[in-house]
Amino acid sequence: MANKDLDFLFLTESDKSWLAAAIDFEGSISLCRVKNYNINGAIHIFRPSIRLAVTNKNLINHISKLLGVPVFFEPREGIKNKDSYAILIHPNKGRLLLPLLLPYLLAKKEQAKLLLEVYSLRNGHKLFKNNPKLIRIKEIHIIMKELNKRGK
C-alpha cells in the first residue's frame, strides 16, 4: 500500500514550477528560533519553516491536496484586509520537498539553499551548545533573517 504522505514526491514538472512560484510570491522559507523548556530551563532551538498564505481558498485547497498538508484559516481585522488561508509544511516534508522545488525558485532560492544546509547539519538530531554544527545553524539564522526582511 502506498504512503499518501509521500505522494508529493511525484509532482509533475508543471506543478513544481507553479508551486515554487507561489512560494516565491506568497510564501516564506525561514529558520525560526523557538524557546524550548526542559528540566534545565529554557533553551533555543531552530525550526525550519516553509509557509504559504493566500486569500484564494481554491488555490490553497489545491496545494493542500497536492502536498497532503492541512489548511489553516487566518481571519483578518479591518475592511481592507481579506481573510487568508495558510499551509505550514512540516520540516520532515520540507526536507524532501525543497530539492524538488529548488530549480524553479527565483526569489527564495538562497533561503531554500540555506534551509537545505540546515537539514543536512541537523540530520534529524538535536544539537547542543558549542557544537560546530549548531554554531553554523545560528549563522544561517542570522543570514536568513536578513534575506527575509521586508523589501528584500
pLDDT of residue 1: 36
Q: Which residues pair with 25 in a beta bridge?
A: none
Over its length of 152 residues, how does the chain's per-residue pLDDT go in tens digits? 345 666 777 889 999 999 999 999 999 999 998 877 776 666 778 899 999 999 999 999 999 999 989 999 988 887 778 889 999 999 889 999 999 999 999 999 999 999 999 999 887 666 666 778 888 999 999 999 999 987 65
